[in-house]
Structure 1
Amino acid sequence: MRVTTDLWVSALVRRVFGAGGFAAIVKRGATEAGAVFVLSRGRLGEVTFYGPAPQTSYDSAKPDDRFFAVLGTSDDSSAFDARLEREKKFDPDIWVVEIECGTVPAEELLSVKAE
């Protein structure tokens, strides 16, 4: 059984704070479900944008896991803001979380799948 998005995002926020980082929920979506997008800001200003991984990334043995893919990296987050606005129009139930990782890299916090 897959956990609710609300619970998963709360756990992500706690893991980030536990690693010495900072996290904020920018947009709260549907409690039970909803796609999660994460903006990871580095200490030097770089931003990495993560979104749900394609369905082909999921293993039939663990269909309830939540995987992410890197959607882009830049020093300017305005392109990502525009993408998020399009995603909100398509699905108003999305979640947007911004994180600044502490001692743990974002790839470990998010279960990132390579493309």
Structure 2
Amino acid sequence: MMARLASGLVVSALIRRVNAAGGSAMVLARGEAEAGAILVLALDRGGDPRFFERGIGPDGLPALVRSGPADMADEAAVSSYWQRRRERDRDLWVIELDIAGAERFAAETMLSG
């Protein structure tokens, strides 16, 4: 089994990459530095919210998996979703990325280590 990079390091790299590409990235909730799960809220110019996180894909390999409420058009539901997740898992990182192709940035950073 291959060791994964610490969550805090992955989050820092993801934020630097998105900011360097002209996007906006911020930590909404800081999780456990070594092994906390990472939930990403992706936006495109402040709209089209979607959540994803590292999981296991249908082929059994690490992949980004969509998650979140059914009604992503409701801002309150979006905010409530990640806050409820955070209440149940205090080690969870919640990251907001506002850039076109947010999934690509996250996959390249989160799945490589």
Normalising to structure 2: TM-score of the pair?
A: 0.77
User: In angstroms, what is the RMSD of aligned CA positions?
Assistant: 2.5
Gaps of 5+ in 2: 109-113
Once the two structures are superposed, residues 7-59 of structure 1 have per-residue CA deviations (whole angstroms, 9 ceiling, x without a partner) of 00000001101211010111101010111111112126221111232476653
> Are 2:70 and 1:68 equivalent residues in the alignment?
no
Kindly indicate whether residue 31 of structure 2 is the aligned counterpart of residue 29 of structure 1: yes
Match of residue 5, structure 1, among 7, 31, 36: 7
Which residue identity lines up with residue 79 of structure 2 in the other structure? Answer: D
What's the counterpart of residue 86 of structure 1?
84
| Aligned twin of 2:111 | none
**Residues 57 and 77 of structure 1: CA distance in aligned 2, closer, same or farther (over 3 Å):** farther
- TM-fit CA distance, 1:110: 1.7
Letter in 2 for 1:86: R
CA distance in 2, matches of 1:77, 1:51: 19
- Secondary structure of 2:82's counterpart equals helix
Say if 2:94 is the partner of 1:96.
yes
TM-score by length of 1: 0.76
Distance across 1 between alignment mates of 2:74 and 2:8: 28
Q: Which contiguous aligned blocks of 4+ residues in structure 1 show a shift greater than 6 angstroms?
A: none
More strand by share: 2
Q: Note if contact 2:32-2:91 (Cα within 8 Å) is conserved in structure 1.
A: yes
Q: Secondary structure at the match of 2:104?
A: helix
